[in-house]
Amino acid sequence: MTENKFVFLAADIPGVFAFDRDKNIVACSTFPRNPKSILGKLEELEEGTDLDEVREVLERVDTENIVTDIPIDLDGYNIEVKENISAKKHLIENLREISKECGFVQSDSQFNRILRDIQVIRTRDGIKSSVKKDRFVSQAVSALEDLRRISNELSERLREWYGLHYPELNVSDNEKYAELVSGLDKREDSDDFRGSMGLDLDRPDTDVVRSFANHVSSVYEEMKELKEYLEEVMDDVAPNLTHLIGSEMAAQLISLAGSLDKLARMPSSKIQLLGAEKALFRHLKGKGKPPKHGIIFNHPYIQNTPDNKRGKAARAIASKLMMAARTDNYTGKFKGKKYKDELEKDLERIRNE
């Protein structure tokens, strides 16, 4: 064995292969012919899982120096992981011939059948994934908006109700108010109690108010869980968009557009007005001024900009949102930090003009 001898490791539908510099197969280990098993093996390889097929191939080569596009790290081998290695390109371009050469299939018809079944599974899974992204994000953000509206209504009712007993209780935050009331047996239990002009409560009154306060608190807990879910799923669905404006607003934009794909196809001018459709219709009927922005108005990027410059800021934000959505939808590459840094510089310049 010489020091500069390398083998090139690549994998695809037939299995795992080791090639020499001349693209000759020096070792291989084929996958089971079951399409689901093949896709499972390929997915595990993408995640860097230590598969038996990889071990089997490496045990058959006479060098420890490996160049591969598979993200593996095995003791006893000098492994260099690179993208777009020529061995993988050779494997893909000659997949049918190599599948027969290594004994994975015996004929073209057998190869065609396996390839067709794999494509059917990939297409079906792709549709499921697409549906999940569009519908789950849309439903989750709608549910969050419903919970926010419900929590405000219930909190108002709780304040009116408990205010009959303790009108002097001064807690501005609705969630904290509900938590405090649910933990009080009577107003005298409050640390800030100094006497009250409110009505006394009997035990049944106290129990029912505390129970209601517990229900209000549970709504806020549900909102927290839903926000955590949105943060998690949006980092997967649209990482660039999420990094730029946050998970909730990114989800709202996708919901308003109908899907990430539809959002990515929109011009920045339309993205800028998402959520302002009613105001736009009123303007088109001659009943109001044209809107300058939709839901992005609620973002600190706009709120921290002087009133007379918010229109220009909204255009800058919408332009970057369009780029982020297209990157998420078409490439999947993460450029969120770059987009955010560029946007913040643009906004700083607009504010200082």
pLDDT, tens only, 328-353: 988 878 999 999 999 999 999 999 98
Q: In the prediction, which pLDDT does 275 show?
A: 82
The architecture that CATH gives domain 7-106 is: 2-Layer Sandwich (3.30)
- Tell me: pLDDT of 283 over 60: no
Q: Are 294 and 266 in contact (CB under 8 A)?
A: no
Of the candidates 110, 108, 198, 135, the residue with the CA atom closest to the CA atom of residue 161: 198
Q: In the prediction, which pLDDT does 198 show?
A: 75
- pLDDT exceeding 70 applies to what percent of the chain? 88
Residue 342 tokens read as 């560029």
**Lowest-pLDDT range of 108-117, 133-142, 226-235:** 133-142
Residue 124 tokens read as 């079906």
The confidence band for 164, taking pLDDT boundaries of 50, 70 and 90, is: confident
Average pLDDT, whole number, for the chain? 87
What are the start-end ranges of the H helices in 197-309? 203-237, 239-245, 247-257, 260-265, 268-272, 277-284, 300-303
Q: Are 17 and 77 in contact (CB under 8 A)?
A: no
Q: Are 17 and 25 in contact (CB under 8 A)?
A: yes
Q: Give the domain ranges of the chain.
A: 7-106, 133-237, 257-353
- The residue among 78 and 123 whose pLDDT is bigger is 78
What CATH code would you report for 133-237?
Answer: 1.10.287.4070
What's the topology of domain 257-353? Serum Albumin; Chain A, Domain 1 (1.10.246)
**Lowest-pLDDT range of 41-55, 114-128, 183-197:** 183-197
Q: In the prediction, which pLDDT does 192 show?
A: 67
Alpha-carbon distance values, 263 to 3, 269, 326 (Å): 53, 12, 8
**Lowest-pLDDT range of 52-66, 133-147, 272-286:** 272-286
